[in-house]
Structure 1
Amino acid sequence: MDIRHRLYPYPVLSDSTDDYINSSYSMELEVTKGIRELCFKISLKLENKQIQQMIYEGLAEYVIHIECSYTAYRTVIKSDETIIEKKIPEHKLNGTVSVCAFIVAKTSLPAYYNSCFNDDYDGMSFHLHRGNIIAIGGQANIKVTKEVEELSKIPSIFTICRNAEDIDDSMKIDITGEKIVIVLCAKSFGNYKMLTGMPQMLPVLHSMLIIPTLIYTFEKLKSEGTSDFEDLRWYKSIERTLKKHNLTLNAELLESMPSFELAQKSLDLPVDRALEALATQDTADEEE
């Protein structure tokens, strides 16, 4: 989400308003990279004794909202601590990730008053409902950039296209070019194009299209050998990906490890992510 300046029917502590005097609320964000996750550390600084007391008494709470619009990932973290840490699997984030800090009412406050209200509100009190925003601590945006050759990005080594002949036929695969070509019938290609506009469904598409394609590819390599394919872009990309798992793409590996396992390792366990995407479709990943 993006914090948008808006008018509230009651005073809100924010650096974009003068509703409070001698008060402030801000956050500092530190992001570090783990093995397969990003680690968010949010440090909150509140200068207003009455709001601090409300948090201590359980009448209000700190709320951190983290959202990635590209992957449709969203999480809400609620806490009474000023240091908040959150680990998020890297595959759930891509592009711009926004982190917003708030303080919200944890319960109904029928007569909210703060001694640091601006003089314009002198002697006034306000009825706040549970969930109403009391303070806004700002927004920080970070960029998450995946490796260009990451297999989970279909355009890197796969081309998915429509069959030139307008027939209802099964999926076809061609591995003789620089990219692996997946050919779909007109109806299936139309459904594929529709689903590519839903980033949260990409793991499902990978499991349905890319996994069978990679199984076919590894079986081909096993039966025909690797020499005719080693200079192709898709082969080098798969080879680099498997090296991250300490696996060397050669005849010995193709014979010793089932093609289905090799396909999963190449895409970083896409079946698990596909099931997770289906299980969480149309719901927010919220934490109490």
Structure 2
Amino acid sequence: MDIRYKYFPYPVLSPFSDDYLNSRFISEINVIKDISDLVLNLSVLLDDSELLHLITHNKADYVFHIECPQTSYRTIVKTSETEVEKRIPESKLNGRVSICTFIVAKDDLGSFRSDSFNEDYGKMTFHIKRGGILAIANQVNIDITKEINDLAKTNSVFSILRRDSNDDLGMQIEIDGDKIKLFLCNEEFYNYKNVAAVPTFQALLHAALILPALIYTFETLRRSGTDEYEMYHWFKAIEKALSKSNIKLNQETLENKPSYELAQKLLALPISRGLKSILNFGTEEEED
């Protein structure tokens, strides 16, 4: 969504009209990259007393419209606060993301006017319906350049292999190589291949297979040290991913942060996502 000039049947505070004099409505967006999320810090500056009165009396809201054309992701954030945080999975965004900020009426306004109206409006008042746009701030565009290094993709850091047996030893894990290897017996591997073909179940696979493998890896590093593993591709990938959250992969971190906590952070809370995928199976996911 791009903000374009348009006519309204009533005055609107905006950067492209002189409906208001000596009033400002400005938005500011700051972006922080987490391991798997983009954190948008959304803030506004408003100095029109009548519009501020509407917001403080729950008759209007600040509305941030966030849209990424390349991925078709769209969401809105409604708030009466001048600052709010919105976390978005990075997988949902790519390329240009536009954030358009408005003030929108929450109720019908029977006789609205502001002392900041252009003098051409005299003492006129206006009826504005619920959902009507009262103010438009500057549009902010950000560019998202994605790194192709997703720890949750088994072909980047993990290899899931078949162990030619039908024993009941469960999954075996090896970390002596460029990839973390997960070995499954014949039946487990067959079931894995069937489940992996269903995109909805990816989060469940992360929780069932990748999460325990990462916990095992962190525990091994904690006991044995990092020196003999630092040359491996998986180590460098995990180190880079943790650095996005200002976490160093060193002995101090391994001693002071639980392995399960680090593993869940890297995989963007796979248990929570897995449970949601079960509840949402067969239904369409709705935007917030």
- The answer to whether TM tops 0.5 is yes
**Residue in structure 2 matching 1:268, options 265, 268, 274:** 265
Q: Are the aligned partners of 1:207 and 1:271 in contact in 2 as well (CA < 8 Å)?
A: no
Pair 144,23 (structure 1): closer, same or farther in 2 beyond 3 Å: same
**1:166 aligned partner:** none
Percent identical residues = 28
Question: Structure 1 residue 106 and structure 2 residue 106: aligned?
Answer: yes
Question: Structure 1 residue 11 and structure 2 residue 10: aligned?
Answer: yes
CA distance in 2, matches of 1:25, 1:271: 39
**Correspondences of 1:117-132 after superposition (within 5 Å):** 125-128=126-129, 130-132=130-132
Question: Displacement of 1:160 after TM fit?
Answer: 6.6
Pair 19,11 (structure 1): closer, same or farther in 2 beyond 3 Å: farther
Q: Are the aligned partners of 2:175 and 2:217 in contact in 1 as well (CA < 8 Å)?
A: yes
CA distance in 2, matches of 1:68, 1:277: 25
CA distance in 1, matches of 2:232, 2:196: 25
Question: Displacement of 1:10 after TM fit?
Answer: 3.4
**1:167 aligned partner:** none
Which stretch has the larger CA shift, 237-246 or 59-68?
Answer: 237-246
CA distance in 2, matches of 1:18, 1:239: 50
SS of the residue corresponding to residue 138 of structure 1 reads: coil
**Correspondences of 1:209-224 after superposition (within 5 Å):** 209-215=209-215, 217=217
Q: Are the aligned partners of 1:11 and 1:117 in contact in 2 as well (CA < 8 Å)?
A: no
**2:251 aligned partner:** 248
Question: Structure 1 residue 31 and structure 2 residue 30: aligned?
Answer: yes
Question: Displacement of 1:18 after TM fit?
Answer: 4.5
Pair 218,104 (structure 1): closer, same or farther in 2 beyond 3 Å: closer
**2:41 aligned partner:** 40
Question: Displacement of 1:140 after TM fit?
Answer: 1.4
Question: Displacement of 1:106 after TM fit?
Answer: 2.5
> For each residue in 1:29-65, what CA deviation from the matched residue of structure 2 results, as whole angstroms up to 9, or x when unmatched?
1527599995725232355x65455446553343344
**Correspondences of 1:125-204 after superposition (within 5 Å):** 125-128=126-129, 130-143=130-143, 151=151, 156-158=156-158, 175=175, 177-180=177-180, 185=190, 186-191=193-198, 194-195=199-200
SS of the residue corresponding to residue 138 of structure 2 reads: strand
Root-mean-square deviation (CA, aligned residues, Å) is 5.5
CA distance in 1, matches of 2:196, 2:251: 34
Question: Displacement of 1:211 after TM fit?
Answer: 0.8
Pair 124,155 (structure 1): closer, same or farther in 2 beyond 3 Å: farther
Question: Displacement of 1:188 after TM fit?
Answer: 1.9
Pair 172,42 (structure 1): closer, same or farther in 2 beyond 3 Å: same
Q: Are the aligned partners of 1:10 and 1:126 in contact in 2 as well (CA < 8 Å)?
A: no
SS of the residue corresponding to residue 20 of structure 1 reads: coil
> For each residue in 1:145-203, what CA deviation from the matched residue of structure 2 results, as whole angstroms up to 9, or x when unmatched?
67776745766523579x8xxxxxx9886756523356864422211xx24xxxxx876
Question: Displacement of 1:102 after TM fit?
Answer: 1.0
Give 5+ residue unaligned stretches, structure 2: 163-169
SS of the residue corresponding to residue 197 of structure 2 reads: helix
| TM-score normalised per structure 1 | 0.57
Question: Structure 1 residue 62 and structure 2 residue 65: aligned?
Answer: no
Pair 102,262 (structure 1): closer, same or farther in 2 beyond 3 Å: same
